[in-house]
A and B are shown apart, each in its own frame.
Chain A
Amino acid sequence: MTPPAGDVRVFADYQGDFTEEADVVVVGSGPCGAVVAKELACAGARVVLLEEGPPFTPDDFELDGALSMARTMREGGLRATRGYVMPTMQAMALGGGSLVNSAICVRAPESVFARWSEGFALEHTTRAELDPHYDAVSEFLGIAPTPENVQGRRNLLFKQGCDALGISSESIARNVRGCRGSGECFTGCRSRAKQSMDLSYIPAAIRAGARVLTSVQAQEVLHEGDRAKGVVGQVVEPLTGRTSYRFRVNAKIVVLAAGVMATPVLLQKSGNLANRSGQVGENLQFHPGVAIMGIFPERVEPQFGATQGYQSLHYIEEGFKLETLWAPPGVLAVRLPGFGRELKDRLAELPYSAVWDAIASCHRSLGSVRARRRGLDPLLTYRLDPEDVKIMNRALWVLAEIFFAAGAKKILPGVHGMPDEIFSLKEAEVLRDRPLKPTDIVTAGNHVFCTTRMHGDPDRGVVDEDGKCHDLENLYIADTGIFPQCTGVNPMLTGMALAHRTSGRIAEHL
C-alpha cells in the first residue's frame, strides 16, 4: 500500500464536521501512542493519530510550575484520588507526558517480568523477549546516561552519599540529546534537548505518512459485534476546552493509547466495551512518591543540573527506587513547614538545598477508574495499603541516611507528626522507628498502571500479550494501563517497548 503524505492539523484548521479513513487510528500521542503511530506509518499503514491537546512550542511554555500544569495537564494539574487523597496528573499536549516529564528511561528488571509471568499467565512477556524492543526505542531516542558535565551538585551529592554508605547508584539514562542542565524538564525543555514525542516520534511518523490531528477529543469507540469500526469525537479549543465540530475516523484497527486514566473511561463510555472480564478500570496502581529536602552547609545551587540525574536501584527488591529531583522552586517550597519569618528563613535556604525522592512499588494498594456522567475526566478512588506505607517508611529512613552521609546539616522530612527539621542521623531514627499512617505522608502518584491489564486468561484481563483486547478482533491498547502490576521503576520505556511489540503484531495483520 502507498501511504499518503503525512499531515498535521491544528485547531485553526478545523472549519466544520469531518470524516477520515485510515488503516489504523491511534488515540493519544503520548510515548506509547507515538511509537505505534510511527512504527505503523513506517510499515506502510495509513495512520491517523489523534491528540486532544495542542502542540506546545517553546513560546507556549509557562515557567511557573502551577501555571504550567494548568496549561498542560487535564483538570489543571489538580487531579486527585478519592479515598486516600493523592494528587496525580495526566498531560494533555501533543507528546503527552513526555513533554513535561523528566525523561527517565529505565528498563524494568527481570524480577518484574518473572512476577508478571507467574501471576498473570504471560509466557512471552519476559525481559529477554522485550530487550529487542527496548533496544529499538533506545536507539531511536538516543537514550544515554546523563553526562557528568550537566549533573550539577545536587545530583552528585546524592552519589556521594550513596558511595559513602556502599549503596549502588548510577547516572540516569534519559531520552535527551544535548542537555544543558537547565532543570526545566517539568515545564517543557526550552533547550529542545529532551526528545519528547513531539520532537522525535511524531515528526518521524508524519515523515512516514501519518496524519496527526491535534485538538480533537475521542469520545467513543465505534463497534459492531466483535469488531471496532473507528472513533468519533469533537474538536476541542486549546486551553479553554470548549468543544465544537464533530469528527469520525473509520479504521480497520483501533489503538487506544489515551493513558491509564482515560482509556478505561473511553471504553466505559463506549458501552462498557472490552469488559467481559470486568477488569476495565479496575486494579488502578501508582508509584506513590515521597521526598525529603536536605540543607547543606555550602551552596548547592540546585537549579543547575539535570532535573533528575542520579538514581539508586539498590532497594528495588525491597520495593522502592531512589532518585534526585528538581522542580520549579514554588513546587518544592510547598513542602516546607512553618509560617512567617520562620518559613522565610527556610525559603532562604533553598540555594543550599537538595531534594531526593523515593518511588514505591505499591502493588498491594489498589483503586479504580470510573467514567463520570459528563465529560471524560475520571473518578478515581484509591486505597493505600498499610504494608505499602511501610515501604515508604523505610525509604524515608534510607533517604535520611544518604543525606547525612553526603554532609547535610539538616533534613526536612515533611511528614506529619515528625519534627519539622532533623539535625542528625540519631534524631532521624524516628523516621525508621515510628510507624506511619497513610495520611501522615505527603505523596504524589506519579506513575499510573493496570486499569486495562494484560492477562493470559481472558476472564481475568482486558488485553493479551500483544495488547489486543480479548473481546474484540481489532481493538488494541498501548499504554501503561496494560501492565499487570506496577514495575517499581519509571514506566515510560517499558510502555514504549510494549507498544513497539504491539506495532509489530498489528503490522502482521494489515
Chain B
Amino acid sequence: MAWVFLLVAGCVAIVAARRLFFGYAAPAQPLAALRLGEYAVVQAAANAVYPPGGALEASGEQARVGAYADRYLQALPARTSTLMRLLFFAVEHGTLVFAAPGPGGRRRFSSLATEQQVALLESWRTSRFFPLRLIFTSLRAILTMGYFASPEVLRPLRLAPYAIETPVREADLLFPGIGQSRASIRHTAADVAASRETSATPLDPDGPLHPRFRERT
C-alpha cells in the first residue's frame, strides 16, 4: 500500500511543481524582487485591467506595471512584501477554488484567456464575500499605482509632476541625504539667505515637467 501512496504523492508533487514553477516566460529586464510567476500574474492582471487602446493609449504592459511592481516589492519591508507575495499567489492559484468561467477555468490565472481573467476579476470585485473583494481591491490598487507611475499615462492627462525649484533651508545645512554623511552637505548659510529672497508664486501650468516625466526626443 505504501508504494501506492508514494506514487500518488509523487504525482501530486509533480503536478504542483509544474503549476507553481514551470511555464513562465522570463521578462525582458531582470527582476530584482518578483519571482517569474509573480511577474506573470502582475502582467496578466495589468493587461486585463488596462488593455491597449481606449481613452488612454497605453496598456498595463506598455506602462511597465510589472517593472513597477518589482520595484515596489523591493522597497517594502520583509513582512509586508511577504503579504504582497501571498496576494499574488492567491490571485494566481485562487482559480483552483474560484474557477474562471469557460473551459479550463481552473488553470492558473496568468494562463487564462484575457476574457476569463476579466470575468474572474469582475466577479471578485462585485462578490458578496468581503475577502474576495479585498483581494481584488488590493491587486487593482497595485496595478493602478503602477499604471499611474508611467509618464506615458500621466503626460496626456497633464497630471505629471512639474519641475520645482527647491529653495535651501536651514535644515539643508544640518541633514544630509539618506545614506550620506554630513560631510556631503554642500549648502552654506549664504544659500539659505539667498533662498529666503525667492517669492512663492503659484506653479505655472505651462511650466516644465519634472525631468523624469519629460517626453524623450
A interface, CB within 8 angstroms of B: 8, 10-13, 54-60, 63-67, 70-71, 75-76, 78, 85, 94, 149-150, 177-182, 184, 190-193, 198-199, 202-203, 206, 214, 238-239, 241, 301, 303-304, 328-331, 333-334, 336-337, 339-341, 343-345, 347-348, 350-351, 375, 377, 416, 439, 442
Contact = CB atoms under 8 A, between A and B. Distances in A.
- Residue among B56, B122, B148 with most chain A CB within 10 A: B148
A348 B76 contact: no
B102 interface: no
A265 to B, nearest CB: 15
B49 A340 contact: yes
Contact of A57 (B54, B71, B176, B181): B176
A60 B167 CA distance: 15
B158 A8 contact: no
B1 interface: no
B55 interface: yes
B85 interface: no
B72 A66 contact: yes
Given A12-B181, A70-B76, A239-B178, A339 B121 contact: yes
A37 B133 CA distance: 45
A334 B144 contact: yes
A85 B175 CA distance: 37
Interface of B: 48-51, 53-56, 71-72, 75-77, 79-81, 83-84, 118, 121-122, 125, 130, 133-134, 137, 140-142, 144-149, 153-154, 157-159, 161-162, 164, 166-167, 169-172, 174-182, 195, 199-203, 205, 210, 212
A438 B85 CA distance: 27
Contacts of B77: 75-76, 241
Contact of A345 (B55, B140, B176): B55
B202 A63 contact: no
19 contacts: A10-B182, A12-B179, A55-B175, A57-B176, A57-B177, A59-B177, A64-B149, A66-B149, A75-B79, A180-B201, A181-B203, A182-B162, A192-B167, A199-B170, A241-B77, A334-B145, A339-B48, A341-B51, A350-B159
A339 B121 CA distance: 9
Q: Which 7 residue pairs of A and B lie closest in terms of their CB atoms, listed nearest first?
A: A178-B200, A330-B148, A55-B175, A348-B55, A70-B75, A12-B181, A76-B76
Given A192-B166, A203-B170, A333 B175 contact: no
A227 to B, nearest CB: 33
Contacts of B72: 66-67, 70
Contacts of A192: 166-167, 169, 195
A326 to B, nearest CB: 11
A344 B200 contact: no
A451 B202 CA distance: 41
Contacts of B167: 191-192
Contacts of A10: 175-176, 180-182
Nearest to B212: A63
A303 B181 CA distance: 35
A60 B210 CA distance: 15
A218 B167 CA distance: 33
- Residue among B157, B167, B174, B210 with most chain A CB within 10 A: B174
B50 A78 contact: no
A180 B176 contact: no
A59 B175 CA distance: 12
Contacts of A333: 144, 147-148
B157 A191 contact: no
Contact of A339 (B49, B166, B181, B212): B49
A57 B187 CA distance: 12
Contacts of A331: 145
A180 B134 contact: no
A179 B158 CA distance: 21
A211 B216 CA distance: 46
Given A70-B72, A203-B171, A182 B164 contact: yes
Contacts of B164: 180, 182, 184, 190-191
Given A351-B158, A375-B79, 6 more contacts: A55-B176, A60-B177, A71-B75, A192-B166, A192-B195, A214-B175
Nearest to B183: A12
A413 to B, nearest CB: 15
A509 to B, nearest CB: 29
- Residue among B140, B145, B153, B164 with most chain A CB within 10 A: B145
A344 B54 contact: yes
Contacts of B205: 301, 304
Given A67-B71, A78-B76, A341-B51, A199 B171 contact: yes
A304 B203 contact: yes
A65 B159 CA distance: 13
Contacts of B56: 344, 347-348
A238 B133 CA distance: 34
Nearest to B199: A178
Contact of A11 (B118, B133, B179): B179
A75 B49 CA distance: 27
Contacts of B53: 341
Contacts of A203: 170-171, 174
